[in-house]
């Protein structure tokens, strides 16, 4: 057994002041050593334990009482997906970040982990000798631990909605006019800096729906697209989710089943048409360009934007040249501020931005940046965004 404890076991609530306590569970001594050093160099977190198997984690979780666990998928004795529900049963508010190499099998397991209560996932580099891959892993992991751990301490122990498995879909309904759903009752949600100002919705009818998301995005997207069938039938829907290759392939399949509409990773040069969801493939920026009389996808292998690839801003800004002010954009849960600059450009061109509210976001970074920039026409909980989008595409401008 390989067990290392840092300091005394925690007592009381995991939300007490002090560094975030992180439990590392991975059968690779190299990965455990790397992550331990990275965490040890941060002022606001500490290594609570470094363990080799999921079984060790389950047996020691109550004694260690960590805030966050970085949980490998493939381990001896008890793998990560088997350990996950047992860990949450013993510590309901534990933030679990799944770690795996980039294979289709591991991507599918990571999505299953989200449905079982994992907070997020992170791809591990196949070799830590690749400096750029290790640097990205380092940056992303520390940011996920910090932001997800901060949310845990800031809010009551209410888990984000699990990613429900998508059931096989019936054939799409016949296309027709979009019915206006009943308006939801007004709701007041806490925002970190008090009241935020919103601007009027554009008077122009949107001709495209753009969505950007990051941490917590798969769960949010799955919930949102189930309500957007009539909109998808009328206009193209383009989505950028911060996600690596292979993972976006799996996400597109989930979106297709949930929306009951065609959804796939975008292909360079393909025409953009109503009735489809286009998802930016991992590792590529997705833009739209004019191709004769048509609109086409343009994939870009350039440098990361806002530390992300794909990034939301390239999609948002490119859409202005095509649809001008006839754009509705939605910014969902995620770390950082990606989408805010592109959202500003959309608003300047005459379009509109909706942001997910803080209370329903896993991390209120991206939507919060848009909200604080004053560019949003609405700041809504996730369960009200779909109805609002439907009303806007039905002609409601309020």
Which residues are the active-site residues?
Answer: 214, 242, 338
Q: Count the Cβ atoms, other than its own, within 10 Å of residue 31.
A: 19
Alpha carbons within 13 angstroms on the beta-carbon side of residue 321 total: 12
Question: Nearest 5°: phi and psi at 378?
Answer: -155, 145
Look up residue 348 and give its two tokens.
């300047």
Look up residue 9 and give its two tokens.
């076991």
CA–CA dist 79, 208 (Å, integer):
43
Supply the angle between the helices 29-40 and 131-154 in degrees, to the nearest 10.
Answer: 60
Nearest Cα neighbor of 280 from 294, 291, 268, 289 is 268
Alpha carbons within 13 angstroms on the beta-carbon side of residue 213 total: 27
Sort strands 237-241 and 277-279 into parallel, antiparallel or unpaired: parallel
Question: Nearest 5°: phi and psi at 375?
Answer: -100, -5
Nearest Cα neighbor of 310 from 251, 381, 229 is 251
CA–CA dist 193, 27 (Å, integer):
42
Question: Nearest 5°: phi and psi at 300?
Answer: -125, 125
Look up residue 316 and give its two tokens.
């948002």
CA–CA dist 380, 398 (Å, integer):
14
Sort strands 20-25 and 68-72 into parallel, antiparallel or unpaired: parallel
């Amino acid at each position: 057994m390989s067990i290392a404890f840092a300091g005394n076991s925690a007592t009381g609530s995991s939300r007490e002041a002090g560094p975030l306590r992180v439990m590392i569970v991975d059968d690779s001594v190299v990965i455990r050593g790397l992550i331990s050093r990275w965490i040890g160099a941060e002022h606001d977190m500490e290594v609570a334990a470094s363990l080799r198997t999921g079984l060790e984690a389950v047996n020691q979780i109550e004694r260690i009482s960590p805030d966050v666990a970085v949980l490998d998928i493939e381990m001896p004795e008890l793998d990560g997906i088997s350990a996950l529900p047992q860990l949450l049963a013993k510590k309901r508010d534990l933030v679990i970040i799944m770690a795996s190499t980039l294979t289709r099998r591991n991507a599918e397991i990571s999505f299953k982990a989200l449905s079982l209560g994992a907070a997020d996932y992170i791809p591990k580099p196949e070799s830590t000798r690749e400096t750029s891959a290790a640097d990205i892993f380092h940056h992303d992991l520390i940011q996920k631990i910090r932001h997800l751990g901060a949310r845990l301490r800031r809010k009551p122990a209410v888990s984000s909605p699990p990613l429900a498995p998508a059931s096989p879909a019936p054939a799409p309904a016949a296309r027709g006019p979009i019915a206006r759903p009943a308006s939801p009752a007004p709701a007041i949600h806490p925002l970190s800096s008090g009241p935020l100002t919103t601007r009027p919705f554009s008077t122009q009818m949107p001709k495209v729906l753009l969505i950007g998301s990051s941490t917590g995005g798969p769960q949010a997207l799955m919930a949102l697209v189930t309500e957007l069938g009539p909109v998808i039938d009328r206009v193209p829907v383009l989505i950028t989710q911060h996600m690596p290759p292979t993972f976006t392939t799996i996400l597109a399949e989930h979106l297709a089943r949930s929306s009951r509409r065609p959804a796939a990773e975008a292909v360079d040069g393909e025409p953009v048409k109503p009735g489809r969801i286009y998802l930016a493939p991992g590792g590529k920026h997705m833009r739209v360009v004019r191709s004769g009389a048509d609109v086409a996808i343009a994939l870009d292998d350039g440098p990361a934007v806002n530390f992300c690839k794909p990034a939301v801003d390239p999609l948002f800004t490119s859409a202005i040249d095509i649809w001008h002010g006839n754009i509705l954009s939605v910014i969902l849960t995620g770390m950082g501020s990606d989408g805010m600059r592109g959202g500003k450009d959309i608003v300047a061109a005459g379009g509109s931005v909706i942001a997910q509210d803080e209370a329903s976001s896993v991390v209120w970074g991206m939507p919060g940046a848009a909200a604080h920039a004053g560019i949003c026409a609405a700041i809504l909980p996730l369960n009200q965004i779909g109805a609002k989008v439907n009303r806007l595409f039905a002609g409601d401008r309020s």
